[in-house]
Structure 1
Amino acid sequence: MRKLMLTASLMTLAGCAGFGMPAPDPSQAWIDLESRQQDTALQALEVDARAAVDKRYFEVQPGSHELKVRYQFPVEATNIGPDAEPLWRDCRLSLTFKDFNAGERYQLQAGNIGFRPWAKLYDQQRKVVGQAKPAGCQRT
């Protein structure tokens, strides 16, 4: 049932992702969010301890910022035990980056290895410029 609900919500987000997405402001930095694996969800939560304006991306002034995201993913049975069902995790990750540049597009990609989530920040040249730290996980 949970998988069905998550799949439905992901499809809804995917269907809406192309609609209503604003044009990036050239005086700010834009951070796209991307999950590396299927059946996962990555959402913007906070910028500098303030709620994110939109859960699909971040847009920030140049300079230093702390970004917080929510990453939901299944831990496959192969990482738990031979007869186990997939276990859903709901994690928070935090990333601090000091050099956001105006007009530049960044990409925050998230994934997991077993129970451990990860997220990396890439610049426009696809160079890793930051790595998020887990800030707590729970089962869903």
Structure 2
Amino acid sequence: MRVLMLTSGLLLLTGCAGLPDPDPSQAWIDLGNQQDTALQALKVDDRTSTDRRYFEVQPGSHELTVRYQFAVEPGNIGPDAEPLWRDCRLNVKFKDFNAGQRYQLQAGSIGFRPWAKLYDQQRKVVGQGTPAGCQQT
């Protein structure tokens, strides 16, 4: 029992670990999470992301792949429906990531359709996501 409590406590602490300091020679992409949704970093180009909470990339052109989970509200399904959870992948391409710059990737949905937008430090949209497949969860 003590081992279970200790293991649970350690897992809880690692889940609360803070983000590392950004490398000034890289571009940093924050993921904007909203209530009742989940947005996770999956891949940079064809490489699996080492941390699902953010992206850190070399300057230049990259394709980011994210996982976005969200609920489709009953009003978008039918009168007696329950919320329907969707698990989607989106790809965001941007050809001009700059070293030392911070970007923000936000996702949302309109009904069943997910969307993603990449913003620069001035809150200008610099990239849009394209859906890469969804499934019901």
CA RMSD of aligned residues (A): 1.1
Matched, 1:139 2:136: yes
Q: For 1:131 and 1:96, locate their aligned partners in 2 and report how far apart those are by CA, in whole Å.
A: 7
Matched, 1:58 2:49: no
Q: Runs (4+) of structure 1 moved beyond 6 Å?
A: none
Q: For 1:21 and 1:32, locate their aligned partners in 2 and report how far apart those are by CA, in whole Å.
A: 10
Match of 2:81 among 73, 80, 84: 84
Match of 1:124 among 91, 97, 121: 121
Write the deviation string for residues 35-92 of structure 1: whole angstroms up to 9, x where unpaired.
3x42100000000111001000000000000100000000000000010000000000
Q: For 1:55 and 1:74, locate their aligned partners in 2 and report how far apart those are by CA, in whole Å.
A: 20
* Residues paired across the two proteins, number: 124
Tell me the residue number matched to 1:39.
36
Tell me the residue number matched to 2:7.
none
Q: Within 5 Å, give how 1:87-98 maps onto structure 2.
A: 87-98=84-95
Letter in 2 for 1:27: S
Tell me the residue number matched to 1:9.
none
Question: So what's the TM-score if we normalise by structure 2?
Answer: 0.88
Letter in 2 for 1:29: A
Tell me the residue number matched to 2:106.
109
Q: For 2:39 and 2:120, locate their aligned partners in 1 and report how far apart those are by CA, in whole Å.
A: 18
Task: Please say which structure displays the higher CA radius of gyration.
Answer: 2
Q: Secondary structure at the match of 2:79?
A: coil
Q: For 1:139 and 1:74, locate their aligned partners in 2 and report how far apart those are by CA, in whole Å.
A: 10
Q: Which stretches in structure 1 are left out of the alignment for 5+ residues?
A: 1-11
Match of 1:68 among 56, 65, 68: 65
Q: For 2:125 and 2:99, locate their aligned partners in 1 and report how far apart those are by CA, in whole Å.
A: 18
Alpha-carbon deviation of 1:138? 0.3
Q: For 2:62 and 2:82, locate their aligned partners in 1 and report how far apart those are by CA, in whole Å.
A: 38
Tell me the residue number matched to 1:21.
19
